[in-house]
Structure 1
Amino acid sequence: MYQALVSPFLEFSFMQRALLGALLLSVSSCPVGVFLMLRRMSLAGDAMAHAILPGAAIGFLLFGLEIVPMTVGGLIAGVVVALGAGAVSRFTLQKEDASMAAFYLISLALGVLIVSMRGSSVDLMQVLFGTVLALNDEALTLIGSICAITLVTLFVVWRGLIAECLDPLFLRSVSRIGTPVHFAFLGLVVLNLVGGFQALGTLLSVGLMMLPAAAARFWSIRVGPMCLLAVAIGMIASVAGLLLSYHFALPSGPAIILSAGAIYLASILFGSRGVLAERVRHRHRTA
């Protein structure tokens, strides 16, 4: 048991770095995923994950696989897409989900095209799916900084976020904090997707954000416990995915996301608000 579960993280520094990066991402992105889910913006998060690709690709085109240029480019692209989709939905007849989907598809195609102009298929796979087993000090510093910023921001805007999840129109009618809270939250989404991009790539970074949050929903109805459960699930999925990757020579990013997906499927069935529990409660009510 020790050799299977503990030894890989003690003997190999790349496994230690991967574990630290994945745990930091879980602490940072899983609570953001809970609020995305409660605000019914889960698919918007997926669209934003792809929206950062052109900026990261331009950074790659100019500087190669350097973290800082790709991060800055991803942040700029994410902000541009978020503002562009919001402007289209505000000033035209098109709804925000449709405009976000359009921007997401354009961004994804443009990013793949830019990477392909200079890089090989290996570079493209690294940008799309990440390299959690190759995280260096610079990447860990970036992810740790994003984690700290996220936790501080959530502490400051916690009540505003909960109020906006319940009734955003009421919040805007009685307080002026609605709009700042909304944009602060969108900033956190982009930041965490950029952090996840370093480890899991643009296609999978949203997975660690949303799957633990969706699983936690089947265990709790309170926001605080739901966030803590999501973080715990993200950590468990990270450890399980890295171990699966190590022992069975699987791609580490997909292994982590599939581990989170397995917990999500189990939560649907066995969660305190899952299918089986609801059937038991229904039988007691009809008995």
Structure 2
Amino acid sequence: MYEFLIAPFVDYVFLQRALAGSIMLCLSSGPVGVFLMLRRMSLTGDALAHGILPGAAVAFLFFGLDLAPMTLGGLIAGLLLALLAGAVSRLTLQKEDASLAAFYLISLSAGVLIVSMHGSNIDLMHILFGTVLALNDQALMLIAGIFVLSTVGLALFWRGLVAECLDPLFFRSVSRLGTPIHFAFLFLVVLNLVGGFQALGTLLSVGLMMLPAASARFWVNRVGPMCALAVAFGMVSSVAGLLLSYHAALPTGPAIILFCGAIYALSILGAPRGILLTHLRRTRPHRAA
């Protein structure tokens, strides 16, 4: 058991770095994913994750696989996508979800074309799916900084975010902080997606944010425990994905997200608010009668 579960993390520095980066990403993005889900903005996270790609691709075009320019490019592109989608929805008849879908498709296509024209297939795979096993000190420091900023930001805006999740119309009627909190929260979303991009790439970074959050909602009702459970599910998936990748020689990022998906499937079936127990609660009165 030791050889299978613990020895890989003791013997190999690259696995230690991957584990540290994954755990910090879970701590940072898990609560953000919960608020995205409760605000019915899950697809917004997916669109913003793909919106990062053109900025990272342009930075790659000029600087190669250099962490700082790609991070800055991805952050600018993600924020620009959010602002453009919001502006279109407010200035035209189109809803924000449709605007996000349109810009997301444009961004993904443009990013893939830029990388494909000026890089190899390996570069494209690196940007799309990440390299969690190749995290260096610079990447870990970036992820740690994002974790600190996210924690501070959520602590500052916690009550406003919870109030907006419960009753957004009432919150906006009694407070002028609705719009500033919304944009601050979008900044945190993009920031976490940029951090996840370093490890899981643009296509999978949103998975570690949304799947644990979606799973946690089947187990608890309160926001605080839901955030804690989302973090725990993400950590379990990260450890399991890293071990599976090491022992079976499989791609690490997809392995982590597949474990997130497995926990989600189990939650759908067996959680207190899942299919089986919900069905039993509905049928018990009829049986007693």
After TM superposition, the score normalised by the length of structure 2 is: 0.98
Task: Give the 5 Å matches for 1:87-126.
Answer: 87-126=87-126
Aligned to 1:215: 215
Task: Give the 5 Å matches for 1:103-182.
Answer: 103-182=103-182
Query: Counterpart of 1:52 in 2: which secondary structure?
Result: helix
Once the two structures are overlaid, the 10-residue window that deviates more, 247-256 or 269-278, is: 269-278
Shift of 1:222: 0.6
Aligned to 2:43: 43
Stretches of 4+ aligned residues off by more than 2 angstroms: 283-287
Superposed CA offset, 1:129-153 (max 9, x none):
0000000000000000000100111
Aligned Cα root-mean-square deviation (Å): 0.7
Aligned to 1:226: 226
Task: Give the 5 Å matches for 1:22-33.
Answer: 22-33=22-33
Rounded Cα–Cα distance in structure 1 between residues aligned with 2:50 and 2:37: 18
Rounded Cα–Cα distance in structure 2 between residues aligned with 1:99 and 1:179: 19
Rounded Cα–Cα distance in structure 2 between residues aligned with 1:11 and 1:108: 38
Aligned to 2:204: 204
Rounded Cα–Cα distance in structure 2 between residues aligned with 1:170 and 1:279: 34
Rounded Cα–Cα distance in structure 2 between residues aligned with 1:170 and 1:84: 26
State the one-letter code of the partner of 1:166. L
Rounded Cα–Cα distance in structure 1 between residues aligned with 2:3 and 2:272: 34
Aligned to 1:253: 253
Rounded Cα–Cα distance in structure 2 between residues aligned with 1:211 and 1:144: 21
Count of residues in Structure 1 that have an aligned counterpart in Structure 2: 287
Aligned to 1:9: 9
User: Percent identity of the aligned residues?
Assistant: 71
Rounded Cα–Cα distance in structure 1 between residues aligned with 2:174 and 2:160: 12
Rounded Cα–Cα distance in structure 1 between residues aligned with 2:106 and 2:11: 44
Superposed CA offset, 1:234-276 (max 9, x none):
0000000000000000000000000000000001111111111
Superposed CA offset, 1:108-160 (max 9, x none):
01101111121100000000000000000000000000001001110110010
Gaps of 5+ in 2: none
Rounded Cα–Cα distance in structure 2 between residues aligned with 1:10 and 1:48: 36
Rounded Cα–Cα distance in structure 2 between residues aligned with 1:251 and 1:54: 24
Aligned to 1:56: 56
State the one-letter code of the partner of 2:3. Q
Rounded Cα–Cα distance in structure 1 between residues aligned with 2:277 and 2:152: 36
Rounded Cα–Cα distance in structure 2 between residues aligned with 1:133 and 1:265: 26
Gaps of 5+ in 1: none
Query: Counterpart of 2:93 in 1: which secondary structure?
Result: coil
Shift of 1:283: 2.4
State the one-letter code of the partner of 1:5. L
Superposed CA offset, 1:57-99 (max 9, x none):
0111110001100000001001111000000000001111111
Rounded Cα–Cα distance in structure 1 between residues aligned with 2:74 and 2:48: 10
Rounded Cα–Cα distance in structure 1 between residues aligned with 2:101 and 2:221: 30
